[in-house]
Amino acid sequence: MATRFDPWIAAGSEDGDGDTGTVLDARTKTKKPPLYKVLILNDDYTPMEFVVMVLERFFGLTHAQAFELMLTVHKKGVAVVGVFSHEIAETKVAQVMDFARRHQHPLQCTMEKE
């Protein structure tokens, strides 16, 4: 049961209610692209301000949002910092890992299928 307009459902994908939309749509073979969570991991050495800067710079968070999310990672060990297509997620991970490496911080960033 779709509660809002979703072009993927409209184009004929199965949304859990057992049908695939209109007869015409049922012939189209569209698939939802898989999404990937990008995660940041805690460590004992990366400065908090550096993590905040990473979250602002690469994930478009405000300073307040970045600070709060950094604290979540610091306390819980890991947090999802965004959900993206495979290509965008890979780019984000590479950007963060490269930025951390260039600053000689052990910050780790990974991705996993949602």
Q: Which residues bind ligand TYC (CB under 6 A)?
A: 40-44, 46-48, 51, 70, 73-74, 107
Shortest distance, position 113 Cβ to ligand TYC, whole Å: 21
Tracing tokens 């819980």 back to the chain, one arrives at 76
Tracing tokens 């073979």 back to the chain, one arrives at 29
Shortest distance, position 100 Cβ to ligand TYC, whole Å: 9
Shortest distance, position 15 Cβ to ligand TYC, whole Å: 36
Shortest distance, position 40 Cβ to ligand TYC, whole Å: 4
Give the integer Cα–Cα distance in Å for 82 and 36. Answer: 8
Q: What six digits make up the tokens of 76? A: 């819980």
Q: Which is nearer to ligand TYC, 9 or 39 (CB)?
A: 39
Q: Are 41 and 77 spatial neighbours (Cβ–Cβ below 8 Å)?
A: yes
What is the edge-to-edge ordering of all strands in the sheet holding 78-84? 78-84, 36-41, 108-113
Q: Which is nearer to ligand TYC, 11 or 41 (CB)?
A: 41
Q: Which is nearer to ligand TYC, 21 or 50 (CB)?
A: 50
